[in-house]
Amino acid sequence: MTKNITIEDLRNHKKKKTKFACLTAYDASLSRLMSEAGVELILVGDSLGMVVQGHDSTIPVSMEDLLYHLRCVKRGNVKSHIMADMPFMSYATENLAYDNAMRLMQAGANSVKVEGGEWILKTTELLSQRGIPVCAHLGLTPQSINRLGGYRVQGRDLDDKNRILSEAKQLEDAGAELILLECVPAILAEEISSSLKVPTIGIGAGSATDGQIMVCYDLIGAYSWENQPKFVKNFMNEANSISEAFETYVSEVKNLNFPSAENSF
């Protein structure tokens, strides 16, 4: 039996209309600090390709990279739910998805995250039927950056908005336990969050999602952006330690002080 925060705990936040805080982590030391600060969910994100490895996208991240960082995070974690990203092309076919999700779960993940809409419906259904909680990542999906043509807000025109809304509902029906919305207008994230039973997690998606997530290197001001996105907030500006910055983030998410309108689209 896991000692970590469960999907059911996150669902209870939605039922009670209380917010939960999520952060990415890639190592034992920061995952311990954020877990002790009350972060409910830690994502071992493929953003590690950019913030740890120095690539300009998440595409070069391999399964071996993800597994290495997942094991580091697991050693530091105290009680947070650990979600592992499935790297680029690691779920391109059903057989790949089975094998790679199995490796992540056996290495200590409590759930996995996959990017995409309609094309991940079947994968979501198959993994979920086999006992693997799936988070579906919609909106700006960084693994598709070469098709999207840039890190831009998604769901601004009516067709795109309706597509994302319909994909969120279909993914819930297919068994997704969580939906992550990246860089979508706050009004769309609100509509999706209120029409789904499963919790939503937002980044650059306004304050109406059930949880919020940030890349931890953004929160501590350790990543140099060429053009810093609106949703990034450096919590070290007013903190005396990294632990204090994590604690402030958790309380700002729970008190609805973060994200503010200036961090949203």
Instruction: State the residues that interact with ligand KIV by CB under 6 A.
Output: 24, 43, 45-47, 85, 180, 182, 203, 213, 215
Q: Shortest Cβ distance from residue 51 to ligand KIV (Å)?
A: 8
Q: Shortest Cβ distance from residue 45 to ligand KIV (Å)?
A: 2
Q: Please, which residue, 65 or 247, has the CB nearer to ligand KIV?
A: 65
Q: Please, which residue, 76 or 231, has the CB nearer to ligand KIV?
A: 231
Write out the catalytic residue numbers: 182
Q: Shortest Cβ distance from residue 96 to ligand KIV (Å)?
A: 19
Q: Please, which residue, 109 or 129, has the CB nearer to ligand KIV?
A: 109
DSSP single-letter state for residue 255: T
Position with the least CB separation from ligand KIV: 45
The CA distance from 165 to 179, in Å, is: 11
Q: Shortest Cβ distance from residue 135 to ligand KIV (Å)?
A: 9
Q: Please, which residue, 3 or 97, has the CB nearer to ligand KIV?
A: 97
| 33-37 own/partner pairs: CB under 8 Å, 24+ apart | 33/242, 33/243, 33/246, 34/80, 34/216, 34/246, 35/76, 35/77, 35/78, 35/79, 35/80, 36/78, 36/243, 37/243, 37/246, 37/247, 37/249, 37/250
